[in-house]
Structure 1
């Protein structure tokens, strides 16, 4: 997937002028709206096209396109969004899914969404990059497990992982230019999960809800003992959430998600040696604060 070609000057060189970058995204634009709008804006900047060029390619006025690129005003219909996506040679299928999710976020009802999608005949499915498909298949389950630990909902976990892989498809060129594509993908997922997780006053994610399922699975019958155990485990998980990012991720994957030790490095995109060191430092910090708590438990 390459940026659209900019017409050459008579001397064979691309034009030196570049249009002004779009004004900042409106503060009222929702999180999901930004998931497809930000890659669209980045692609426009990378392409070297001006807003006037986009007018000619899309068939929409400068005022309409300016509003769309800023996320300002009413949520845009799929027809104008599709015209911009096609003009910039951006994959349609993942954008369509992200546009639909953002329409729900913008409180558009099912009838409105279906009507707008029906304005553009749907073509056949696009060919997904094989490397992206392989990464999706390999990482789907561990990504969902990680997201579920923070969001405490399988539906929300599946949703944020699907969104992550759609964004990754839209920005696949950037991902493959990265020296470590699995790491790039993991950090993209992590950012989306943490931004949706409940937050504690100190700014770290709230993992305390996981204490309830953990203690329930332990099968403690006595209610008083169970509540006391929940309190201990909740405070323990609160401390886990305060660990540095890599230590938090490895701890959650290994001890909350039950991921095999040898599988964790490939998931987070770190070498086995670094992952082992991160795990060791995390366990050391936790056992220093909670010497009577078994991390594996």
Structure 2
């Protein structure tokens, strides 16, 4: 099992700021926008600075900064976010990637994105490199992340979801190190980014596309056998999508990606006993939910 550096003592909370308290993120803010806004807000709240301090350096009115940090009003231009990142010492590459993804998701054109980054693109896209621990974690989990994301997404969408998860992890790495288990923290980010891009049916993520590349199907040699197995798999995947998050993750990793329980434990950042328990409960639910295949009786 991969180990990571021991976490230091929790830092003291910053002193209370003068003036009005920053309001919450607006409920209308989309998932991709929230992906970079939440860690940016956290960095501001832990910095000890006030909106007046930021206003002086970012060259934006306090009211506009408050709106920006709540996700209210027009989607911000990169030149403003770039100045904010410099003041708060936020790494620009992952922030730019997430900002750009959210801009396109918000309906901004690529031309608008390009014009918004004039004069700052070179700095934004210069990769200074994530923390060493970030790179070590990525080496150990990226293959599993791609396999899990592939159960819900295909092609570029799969790769983008995983890349976004690592970008968010980079932005919030201090919080990740302070969490009980960095692997669990990172997995929660991955699940969120994957589910944000997945198709949904009855408010549950759709797993049907992954039926064409499961371990079971790869073991079927005949077209007839694959067709029968596909029908059963689609029913199974529909039932799996109704499971609670941890049970769903375990079943996808175990039975669609083919990972042993120990590897699933490492990926999720939970004890092996939790994986085995989640699998047992999931299997019981599926056994009660899925009707057994009909068998042909004797000819009358």
Shared fold per TM-score greater than 0.5: yes
Matched, 1:275 2:282: no
Q: Distance in 1 between matches of 2:121 and 2:209?
A: 44
Structure 2's unaligned 5+ residue stretches are 1-13, 294-300
Q: Which of residues 137, 140, 157 is equivalent to 1:138? A: 140
Aligned residues: 276
Q: Secondary structure at the match of 1:185?
A: helix
Structure 1's unaligned 5+ residue stretches are 1-13
Shift in CA distance, 258/15, structure 1 to aligned 2, threshold 3 Å: closer
Deviation of 1:157 (Å): 1.3
* Equivalent position of 1:80 in the other structure: 80
Q: Which of residues 101, 109, 130 is equivalent to 1:128? A: 130
* Equivalent position of 2:103 in the other structure: 103
Q: Distance in 2 between matches of 1:18 and 1:208?
A: 53
Q: Distance in 1 between matches of 2:104 and 2:148?
A: 24
5 Å matches for 1:1-20?
Answer: 16-20=16-20
Q: Secondary structure at the match of 2:163?
A: helix
Q: Secondary structure at the match of 1:20?
A: coil
* Equivalent position of 1:200 in the other structure: 201
TM-score, normalized by length of structure 2? Answer: 0.81
Which stretch shows the higher mean deviation, 268-277 or 162-171? 268-277
5 Å matches for 1:239-258?
Answer: 239-258=239-258
Shift in CA distance, 17/107, structure 1 to aligned 2, threshold 3 Å: closer
Deviation of 1:36 (Å): 0.9
Which stretch shows the higher mean deviation, 179-188 or 241-250? 241-250
Which stretch shows the higher mean deviation, 120-129 or 96-105? 120-129
Deviation of 1:265 (Å): 0.7
Q: Distance in 2 between matches of 1:261 and 1:16?
A: 46
5 Å matches for 1:1-297?
Answer: 16-120=16-120, 122-123=122-123, 124-151=126-153, 153-201=154-202, 203-214=203-214, 217=218, 218-222=220-224, 229-287=229-287, 289-290=289-290
Contact 1:78–1:116, Cα closer than 8 Å, also in 2: yes
Q: Secondary structure at the match of 2:208?
A: coil
Alignment deviations for residues 92-134 of structure 1 (CA, whole Å, 9 cap, x no partner) = 1110111111122123333322232222263453241111111
Q: Distance in 2 between matches of 1:164 and 1:116?
A: 24
Report the aligned-residue RMSD: 2.6
Q: Distance in 2 between matches of 1:220 and 1:74?
A: 56
Shift in CA distance, 108/264, structure 1 to aligned 2, threshold 3 Å: same
Q: Distance in 1 between matches of 2:102 and 2:290?
A: 43
Alignment deviations for residues 20-79 of structure 1 (CA, whole Å, 9 cap, x no partner) = 333333444332122111211222222232211111222222243233223233321111
Deviation of 1:174 (Å): 0.8
Q: Distance in 1 between matches of 2:17 and 2:231?
A: 62
Q: Distance in 2 between matches of 1:155 and 1:257?
A: 19
TM-score, normalized by length of structure 1? Answer: 0.82
Deviation of 1:194 (Å): 2.5
Q: Distance in 2 between matches of 1:186 and 1:158?
A: 15
